[in-house]
Structure 1
Amino acid sequence: MKRFRPFLHSLRFKLFASILLLMVPLIVIMQVKDVYSSYVIRNQVAQSNKNLLSLYMNQTDASLVEVDAYLYNLSERNTDLLLLDAPTPEDSTQYLLARLRLFNDLKNEIEYYKMMDVLFIYSEPNEDFLMAGSSDYGSSFQERAAVQDEIRRLLRSSSGEGSFEKWQVWKADNGSYYIYHLVRSNSVLVGAWVRADKLMRPFDLMDFGKEGGALLATSELEPMQFADKVSSEGIDLHYDAESFQITGHKQSYLIMGEASERGDFSLLALVPESAILQKLPALQRISSLLTIGAVVFLLLFLLMMRKVFLLPLQRIISAMRKLRDEHWQSYLNPHATSTEFSVLNQTFNEMITEIRDLKINVYEEKLNHQQAELKHLQLQINPHFFLNSLNIIYNLATVRDYAVIQEMTKCLVGYFRFMFRSNTYMVTLKEELDHTRNYLRIQELRFPEHLTYRIEADDAVLSCGIPPLIIQTIVENSIKYGVTMDSVLQIDIAITREEEGAATAEAERMVITIKDTGPGFAPEVLTALQGDEEAISGSGESVGIWNIKRRLRLLYKLGADIAFRNEPDGGAVVEVRIPRLDN
C-alpha cells in the first residue's frame, strides 16, 4: 500500500478519479435504463405472444373437442358399425350397404370439420379400411396413397391398445408429423387424422422476426417444425408455463409455450431477441447513442487533458526528480504547450543553471576549505612528535650513550626528511612502512629490551596510496601507553587485502591491523573511540587518534572506517580499512 500511496495522492489520479466519479454514474444509470427497457420490452413481447398462443391453442382444442364429439357419437349411435364389428363375407349386401352409408357420412362430415385431413373407420375382424379425406389432404394420387398407407401402419401398430383418451402424435418414416385420435367401438376403430403443419397455417401471417416462428412439439418436446434450426442453434424447448425463457447458442431466442388440454403436444413460439430490440422505441436508441457519446467524450477529454496538462506536468516532475538525484543537466526541452507551462519551463531551466553554478562555487569553496584543514591536521602532528623526539635525545644524552645518540640522530634525520615532504595528501604504503620502521627503531633505541615489533604486508598493496602518518601515529600511541619497564611490548603490523563482497577491483579495500601487548584501551576511552567522540583531553593526549579519524573522513568520506577493540588476553587492536587505490 505504501508503494501506491504517492500515486494515490498525485494530481493525475485525483483528476481522473474526479472525472470518473462524474461520468461513471451517468453511464451506469443509462445502461441500467437500457437493461430495464429491454426487460420491459421482452416481457411485453412475451406476454403478447403468450396470449396469442393461448388463444390459438384454445381454438384448436375447441375444434378437437368438436371432432371428438363426432367420433364418439359415430361410434356409439351408428348401427352400421355393428355389421363391421363381426366377420362378414365380402359379397354381403348388408355389409356393402352399411359400408356405403358410413363412407357417405364421413364424406359429408369431413367438409364440416375443415381442420381435419382424414376421417376413417377400420374394422379389425374384416381388416377393412374406410376413409374420407378433405379436398387438400393430398395434391396427387401418390400423396393420398401414401397417407392411406401411413394410417394403415398406424392402425396396425395401435390394434390391441385399450385406451385412446387424447389426441396423439405420429411420426412418419419420412419425418413428417401427424395428429390423430382413435375411438374404439368393440372391434371397430373410428379416427381422425391431420398433418401437424396444417395446424400451424394461421401462424404463417404472424411476425415472429426473420429467424423466429411458431411450432408444435411432442410431449417429449421434440419439434415437429424447425427441427434443423433447433438442433443447429442449440435451442432448448423447455418453457415456463407462466413466463418466458431465453435460450440459444448462436443467438438468443425468447421461447413461450402453451400445452394442449386435448392432446399430447404443445404449441411454442420462438422470437429472436434481435427482432425484439429492433422494436425498441427511438428513445432507447438515443439513450444508447448518448452512452456511446459519453464514453467517447470521456476518452477524448482524457487525451486532451493528458496532452495539454498532464504531459507538461509530468516532464516537470521528472526533471525535478532528476534534480533531486543531483542530475544537474536535467533541462526541460522546449515543447508546444500552453503559455503558463512555457513560462514555468523557462523559469525551471534558469533555476537549474543558477543552482548548478552556485553548487560548483560552493563545492570549490568547500574543497579549498578541506584542503586547508587537511594541511593543518598534517602539520598538527609535527610539533607533537618533535617534542617527543627531543625528550628521547635528552634522555640518551643523560646516560652518555653516544653511539646510540648517533644512530638516533641518523634515524631522526630520516624521520624529519619524511615529515618535511609529507605535506602531500598521499604517500605509498611502502614509504609509510619505511617511515614507521624508522620511528620504531628510534623507540627501540630508547627502550632497549622493552620493545619489539613485526611488520608484514602483501607485495600487491605496497604501491597503494595511503594518507601519511596514519600507521606511525597509531604505533606512537601504543608505545606511549604500552611501554613499561616491567615487560616487553610487542607491536604487530599486518596489511592485507579485503576482497570479500567486492564487486570490482576498484571496490577492494586494504586492511591495516595494528596490535600490541600493552594494557589496552581504558573502558571510557574505548567507549569514546567507538562512539566517534572527539575525546581530546586538556593536555592534548588523544589528538593523534582524533587526527586520523578526521583525515580519513575528509579524504574518503564513507569509503574508509577505523575500529578499536581490546583483545581478551590483553592488548589493544586498531583496524583501519581504506580503499585500495594505486598511487
Structure 2
Amino acid sequence: MKKKSFINDIFRLLIILTVLLFTILGIFLFSSYKILENEIKDSSESFLAIYSNEAYNSINEMDGLLKNITSRNVDLAKIKSSNSNERILASISLYNYMQELLQGKENVDLLVIYDANYDICLDAIKSGFNFNKKNSLRKFTGDVVKTKEINSFEWNFLEKDNETYLYKMLLSDSRAIAIYVSINNFLADHAAEGNGNHSIVLVNKDGIIGRVWGSVTGEISPGQNINGISSDNYYQAKKEIVPGQLYIYSIAKKSSILKQTNIGMIIVAAAVCLTMLFMVYVLKFTKKEIALPMQHIVNDIERIKNGEYETRISGNFRRREFQMLQEVTNQMVDEIVNLKIQSYEKKIELQDMELKSIKLQIRPHFFLNALTTISSLSSQGKFEDINTYINSLSKNIRYMFRAGLRTVTVKEEINHVKNYFEMQELKYPGSVFYLIDLPKELEEWKIPQMIIHTFIENEFKHAVSLDNTLTILIKVSKQTYQNEDMLLIEIEDDGKGYPKEVIDYMNNNKKPDDTGNRVGLWSMKRMMEIMYEKEGLIKIENLNPFGCLNKIYVPRKTKNKFIE
C-alpha cells in the first residue's frame, strides 16, 4: 500500500488552518473589546491589592512606633515632673528610645513628642531630612496641642512648606505624640514601577488625593477631590486602608481599551499571515534542528540510564542550547560517577572514624587511673567510697562501650557527665565546682555521644588539680547558626586556658599530629564534620583574664551515622 505524502497532508492542514485563522480573527474583533475591558478591571484589582497591602503594612508599622512610644509611661510622666533632673533624664531616655525606633525605618521622616507643661519638644528624624522642615513640623505639633484643631488618632494629609505629609497625632491633655512621613516617601519603592494605564491614588476621608502613583492628569492629581473624577470616563476600584480615614483607588481610562484593541487587531492579522508563510519552514526546521538532535540525545541518555556510565552524549550540535545540554549532561554524569566514588570513600572513612572514636574512649590510662584511685581509697580504708567509685565507673564504662558515630539525647549525655563528675570527685575531692543549665524543652535534642564527656575529660586531664578549685559551667541553648536552628552547648571554665597551637588547629582546620596534644578534641571536631557534613561546628577560645570557652553547635539532623 502506497504511503501518503507527509508534505501533502501538511498543505491540506495549512488550508484548514488558514480558514480557522480568519474565523478566529473575526471572533477576536467581536470579542476583543469585552476581553480587554475585563483585563483592565482585573489588572486594576491586582494593582489595588498590591498597593493596598503595602500601604496597610506600612501604616501598621508606623502605628506600632506610636504604640511603642506611648508604652513608655514612666518617662512620659516624668517629663511633666516639677523636678528638673527627672525631666532631663526622662527626656534623654525618650530621645534615645525614639532614635532606636527610627533606625532602619526608611518610610518614616519624623517622630515628635511635645509636652506643653514645660514646653518640652523631642524629635527623631531620618538621616538627610531638612532641618527647616523639621522645625516647621515641630511648631505645628506644638500649636495643635494648644488649639486642638485636628482629630486625634487619625491619619490625614498636611501641607507644609510646599510639601505634603501623611501624619498621625495622639493628643492627650497637654501632650502630643506625632509621626510624619513625606507623601513622596510613602511607598517610595513603588514610585518607579510601571502601572500601565492605571493611576493609583491615596485619598483621605474627605476624598482629597494625597499621592498619585502612575499617570497624573488634571483630574487625577494631588489636592484634587476623588469625587470630581467622572465614572463615565474612568474605571475605579477602591479599598479601605484605615477604616474611615485612608483609602486607595485604582483608576484607568476607558479610552485605553480602544487603543489596545486596535493594536491587538494589527498583531493578530500579522500573526495570521506570518503563521501561514512560516508553517512549512517551521516544520522542516523542527525536524532537522530539534527532533533529530533530541532523539540522538535521548538514545545516549537511555544508555546511561541502563548503567553504561562510560557513555557520554556525543555529536556536533549546531545550536547553542543543545551544546549546553550536551555539556551539562556530560558534566552531571561525571559528577554522579565521582559522587558514587566519594560515597564509597566516605563509608570507609566513617568506619575508620568509628574505630578511632572507640580507641579514643577506651584508653589504657583511664583504667590505670581508675585502678590507682581504687588502690588509694583502699589503703585509706574508704570502702564506701570504693563502692561508690566502682558503681560510677561501671556506668561510665557501659556508656563508653556504646560510643561511636551515634547520637543520644542531651539529657542522656548530661546524666553520663554528672556520673563522671561523681566518679572524679572521689579522686579530686572539692577540686571541681560545676553548674549545668539545660532547658527542659531541649532535653530530647539528639547530639553525638561522648561529645560533652570528651571536653569534660579534657578539663580533668589539663585543668583540674588538688591545689585549686576549678569552676565549670555547661550551658545548653538554641541558636541560629549558618542559617539554621542549632543546639549550642557552651562549656566554660576558669582554668589556665588552651595553648595557642590547640586554638589554631581547632579553629583553622589544621590537623595536628596523631601523637600531638589533645588529639581527642580534634577527633570530636572531625567526627562532627563527618556526621553533619558541615565545618565550623566546634569553636574554642580563651577568656580574659583566664579560663576558656568551648562552643559546640549541633544541627537537628545528622547526615551520616552508624545505626545499631
TM-score by length of 1: 0.39
| Structure with greater Cα Rg | 1
